[in-house]
Structure 1
C-alpha cells in the first residue's frame, strides 16, 4: 500500500510528462517549431502563422492518436494479465492485435463496406478479428482443463502467425498495389495517417471502456487470488471473464483499426505501473493509462526524428524495446510460471 499522498503526486507527474511529451511531439520534426509558437497556436493567441497547419493538421492528430492508443494498449494489457493470471499477457503476444489487423486488412482488400470503412466496417471487422483471436487463444490454452503460462504464450504466438499468414495471403491475392502501403500500416503499426475525423471513435471507446474497467476493479482484484478463491468470494469467473474479454476485444479493435498492430506497450507499461502503485486495479488502471499514453507519444516522436526525414513505423521501435523486455521476463520468471501478475 503506497502512502496516500504519493498516488496523486504520481498521477500529476505522469500528466505533466504526457503534456511535455505532447509539446515535444508538436514542436519537433522535419521542421522545428519554437515552444512559444506551439503555445500560441494551440491556444489561438496568434494570427496567421506558417506553422499553424503543421501543428494543428499534421502533428496534433498524430499526438492525440498516439496518446489514446498508448493508454488503451496499456489498459488492455493490464486487464488481460489479470484475466489470465499471467504476467506475459499482452494484446500483441496473445494474437489479439493480429486478429484485429487481419479483420481490418480483409475489409480493405476485399472492399467490404466501401465508403464507410473509416466509420463502421473497419473498426467492426477489427473488433470481430480481435474477439475471435482472443477466444481461440484462450480455448487452446485451456485445452485439457488447465492453463499454464507457457501454453498461453505458445497458443498466442501460433494464432498470431496464422493470422499474419492470412493477412499476407489477402495481400498477395489482391491485384491493387495501393493495398500494400495500407496493409504495411496495419502490420507494422504507425500513426502517420492520423486525422481529426478518425479520433472520435477510439477516444470515446477508450474513455467509456476504461471507466467500466475501473468500476470492475474489485472483481479484477479477486481474480488475482486464483479461480477457486474468486469463486468462493462470490465471483462468477466464467461469465466475468467472457464479458471482459469482449470489452478488451472491442477496445483493441477500435485502436488497431486506426493505429495498426503496435506491440509490447501492453506488456511493459503495466509492469512499470505495478512497481509504482501495486496490483489494486482501481489505482493501477489510471497510472497505466497515463504511462502508456506518455510512452507511445515519446516512442512516436523518436520514430519521426531518429532517422529523419525517414518516418519509422512506431511499432518497429516498440518491438525493439519490448522484445528484450519480454526475453527478460521469460528468463526471470519462466514462461510456464503460474500465478497473477507481479
Structure 2
C-alpha cells in the first residue's frame, strides 16, 4: 500500500475518532454533567436500540436533545462548510491566502443581519435575521462577481480588489447601524459578528444541513476540474475544462456554503483559511481528498472550539469567533512569512 494512501487512512481514522470523542464530550460537559455512557445510550435509544446506559431522567434527555445535540451538530456543519468553502477559494484562485471572506460573503452577511436587528425586521419571525444575513452574503458576492467579470471572463485580481472594497463598505455600514441602533441592538450585532452557537435549534440545523450538504456534494464533484485548473488556465482549457463557467459555479457554491453556515451563528473567522492548509500539508494537493478531509477536519475543529467556548470560563459562554481568531490569526501570520521566505520576497 503506498505511503500516501496509508497516511490518508491514518488521518481519516484519527480525525474520525477525535470527532466522535469531541461530540460525546461536548454533549456531556456543561452545567448539568452527563456521562459518556448516558450520551451514547441516549443516541442508541433514539435509533431504536435498547441498552442499559440510556438515561432514566427526563431532564437529561431534554438537555441532550433540545440544547446540546443541536448545538453540537450545528458546530460540526458550520466548521465543515466553511472549511470546504476555503478549499474551493484556494483552488479557483490558486492563492494559498484565499478564503470565503475574499468575495465579500461574510461582510455582506454581517451587514444583512445587522440591518435586520437594527430595523427590527420581523417579516419571517425568528428566521428574519438569518434570512437577511443569507441574502446579504449572496448580494455581496453577486456585486463582487459582476464587477470582476469583463469580456466574458472573471479577472481574479479585480475580484479580490473588489472584495476588499465591498468588505470596507460593509464594515462602514455596519458601524453606522451600530451607531444609530439602541443598546440591545448593538449587543446583538456584536455577538453576531463574533459567532455564537448558543440557542441552535433543530429546524435551523436541518436547513443548514439541506443547503450545505447539497453544495458540498457539488464542489466535491468538481474536484477533478480543480486539479486540472491548478495546471494553469490555458492547460485546463486544452484538457476540456470550461474555466470561466467553473469559476462562476464555484463562486456561487462558495456563497451558498458560507452564507448558510454563518446565517444562524454569525461570523466564524479563519476556519476557511486554516483547515484547508492543515489538510494540504498532511495529505497533499489532490482536491478530492482535500475537500473531503476539509469537511471532516473543519467539523472536528469547530466541535472542539465550541466545547472550549462553553467550558474555558466557568458559567460563561464565549463567542466561538474569539477562539478561532486567536488560533487563526497567528497561523495566518506564519503562513504569510512562510510564503515570503519561499518566494524570496514579496510578489
Question: Deviation digits for residues 99-133 of structure 1, max 9, x if unmatched?
Answer: 12212332333344523452xx5455333322343
Question: Deviation digits for residues 248-307 of structure 1, max 9, x if unmatched?
Answer: 101211111111110100111001111222212222111100100000010111111111
Of residues 95, 107, 113, the one that matches 2:116 is 107
Question: Structure 1 265/2 Cα, relative in aligned 2: closer, same or farther at 3 Å?
Answer: farther
Report matched runs for 1:98-137 at 5 Å: 98-112=107-121, 114-116=123-125, 118=127, 122-137=129-144
Which has the larger Rg? 2
Report matched runs for 1:233-252 at 5 Å: 233-252=239-258
Question: Structure 1 124/227 Cα, relative in aligned 2: closer, same or farther at 3 Å?
Answer: farther
Deviation at 1:153?
A: 6.4
Deviation at 1:146?
A: 6.2
Please give the TM-score of this superposition, normalised by the length of structure 1: 0.87
Give 2:171's aligned residue. Answer: 164
Of residues 254, 258, 272, the one that matches 2:260 is 254
Of residues 60, 68, 73, the one that matches 1:59 is 68
Q: Distance in 2 between matches of 1:9 and 1:108?
A: 46
Q: Distance in 1 between matches of 2:303 and 2:262?
A: 16
Give 2:188's aligned residue. Answer: 182
Deviation at 1:70?
A: 0.2
Question: Structure 1 107/182 Cα, relative in aligned 2: closer, same or farther at 3 Å?
Answer: same
Deviation at 1:37?
A: 2.3
Of residues 83, 87, 93, the one that matches 2:96 is 87
Of residues 270, 276, 280, the one that matches 1:274 is 280
Deviation at 1:65?
A: 0.5
Question: Structure 1 222/132 Cα, relative in aligned 2: closer, same or farther at 3 Å?
Answer: farther
Question: Structure 1 135/230 Cα, relative in aligned 2: closer, same or farther at 3 Å?
Answer: farther
Query: Are 2:216 and 2:257, in contact at CA under 8 Å, matched by a contact in 1?
Result: no
Q: Distance in 2 between matches of 1:94 and 1:328?
A: 23
Q: Distance in 2 between matches of 1:11 and 1:128?
A: 35
Q: Could you tell which deviates more after superposition, 278-287 or 151-160? A: 151-160
Query: Are 2:15 and 2:300, in contact at CA under 8 Å, matched by a contact in 1?
Result: yes
Give 2:297's aligned residue. Answer: 291
Q: Distance in 2 between matches of 1:336 and 1:153?
A: 23
- Say which SS state the counterpart of residue 241 (structure 2) adopts: coil
Give 1:305's aligned residue. Answer: 311
Deviation at 1:197?
A: 1.9
Q: Could you tell which deviates more after superposition, 28-37 or 298-307? A: 28-37
Q: Could you tell which deviates more after superposition, 107-116 or 244-253? A: 107-116
RMSD: 2.8
Question: Structure 1 2/258 Cα, relative in aligned 2: closer, same or farther at 3 Å?
Answer: farther
1 or 2 for the larger relative contact order (CA 8 Å, sep ≥6)?
1
Report matched runs for 1:205-216 at 5 Å: 205-216=211-222
Question: Structure 1 256/31 Cα, relative in aligned 2: closer, same or farther at 3 Å?
Answer: same
Give 1:340's aligned residue. Answer: none
The count of aligned residue pairs is: 332
Give 2:32's aligned residue. Answer: 31
Q: Distance in 1 between matches of 2:317 and 2:126?
A: 25
List runs of 5+ in structure 2 lacking aligned partners. Answer: 46-53
Give 1:223's aligned residue. Answer: 229
Question: Structure 1 335/264 Cα, relative in aligned 2: closer, same or farther at 3 Å?
Answer: farther
Deviation at 1:171?
A: 2.9
Q: Distance in 1 between matches of 2:81 and 2:139?
A: 19
Q: Distance in 2 between matches of 1:61 and 1:295?
A: 17
Query: Are 1:70 and 1:293, in contact at CA under 8 Å, matched by a contact in 2?
Result: yes
Query: Are 2:4 and 2:283, in contact at CA under 8 Å, matched by a contact in 1?
Result: no
Of Structure 1 and Structure 2, which has the larger fraction of its residues in helix?
2
Deviation at 1:72?
A: 0.3
